[in-house]
Structure 1
Amino acid sequence: MTKFKLLQSWFSQVWVAGDASALDVLLSPEINVDTVFDGFLAPRNELPELIQIVHQLIGPFEIDITRFIEDGDWCSANYVMTADGPYGITPVSVGGSMMARVKNNQFIEMTTNFDAFTLFEQLGQLPEDALMACLTGQKLSWA
């Protein structure tokens, strides 16, 4: 399997389809259950719950790879996640990036960056332009 196909499977099977059993196929056995990948909010053994939470927050979604490069055993991609949002009323379009090291057609190491700040703005959980407000020194407060 090419690195591009492996990355596509990661997004389509694990994240879009929510198939946590695909983690055992796509992640190397060298990865321990308590391994925390750089950029993830949860260790390996908590990824199924994280996937479920993402689906509950935004509903069905798609992920499109917009750029892909590889060099040796490493590959990297930029992607965009889009959804109609919860109950189809809050559209979401958020970007991210992922770098991964591949060995024997499995991921052995990865680092991710996902624009969760923008996601929560689009879901209405943070005020619009919250990042810009934070950069000016303003404080966010909830009533």
Structure 2
Amino acid sequence: MSRGTVLTKAEILKQWYKEVWEDGKLDVIEDYFVSEPHNQYIVPNFGIEPAEIREWVSVLRSFVTDIKVTIVHSIEEGDWLSAMLEIRCLNALSGQPVKVYQQIMLRFDGPLKAESYPSFDFIRFFEQLGQLPENTHALLLGGTKLE
């Protein structure tokens, strides 16, 4: 992460997704987070820690290639950043395009993440990979039991 330039929170987030998700540089994950334990989450047991991110991104990158993340919209207020992200990639097995959305809310301490609350559209993601039937969400709302 650049230390000399002052970036907006959205620019830091974009740089994060470029380095970690798109380029697969998992060794820089901790560089984006405060080093002190941050156990004061506003939503207990919902925040995500750097070690969990390393595991999640590794798994994600085993399913897809050519990841491109776009910040569709972001809002900064004080120490907080909220963003809607569009993630475009290719199914690693079929080469078919995959498009999914993620929302994230972050609290920063200076240029570093202190709290991270991502919400990823897993159902749409796994539908596009062929691991769930199409319209899974609607099927579940209709009472269908997936087996």
TM-score (norm 1): 0.86
Match of 1:59, SS state, is: strand
The RMSD of aligned alpha carbons is 2.0
Match of 2:72 among 44, 61, 66: 66
Secondary structure of 2:26's match?
Answer: coil
Match of 1:12 in 2: 18
Quote how far apart the aligned CAs of 1:39 are. 6.1
Q: Is residue 112 of structure 2 the alignment partner of residue 125 of structure 1?
A: no
Q: Which runs of 5+ in 2 are unaligned?
A: 1-6
Matched, 1:135 2:141: yes
State yes or no: 1:90 paired with 2:90: no
- Tell me how far apart the structure 1 counterparts of residues 94 and 129 of structure 2 sit (CA, whole Å): 11
1:93-112 deviation line (CA, Å, top 9, x unaligned): 00111110111210001111
> Which among 102, 116, 121 is matched to residue 122 of structure 2?
116
Q: CA deviation at 1:56?
A: 0.8
Structure 1 equivalent of residue 4 of structure 2: none
For these two proteins, the number of residue pairs brought into alignment is 137
1:103 to 109, 117, 141: 109
Aligned residue among 72, 75, 85 for 1:79: 85
Could you state the TM-score of these two structures normalised by the residue count of structure 2?
Answer: 0.84
Q: Deviations over 1:17-56 (max 9, x none)?
A: 1111211210110236xx997365xx43243232111111
- CA drift of 1:10 comes to 1.7
**Structure 1 unaligned regions, length at least 5:** none
Q: Is the 8 A contact 1:65 1:79 kept in 2?
A: yes
Amino acid at match of 2:106: A
Letter in 1 for 2:82: S
- Out of 46, 64, 69, the residue aligned to residue 38 of structure 1 is 46
Work out the CA distance in 1 between the residues paired with 2:80 and 2:91. 33
1:26 and 1:58 map into 2 onto residues whose CA distance is 24
**Greater mean deviation of Cα atoms: 79-88 or 130-139:** 79-88
Among all aligned residue pairs of Structure 1 and Structure 2, give the percentage whose two residues are the same amino acid: 29
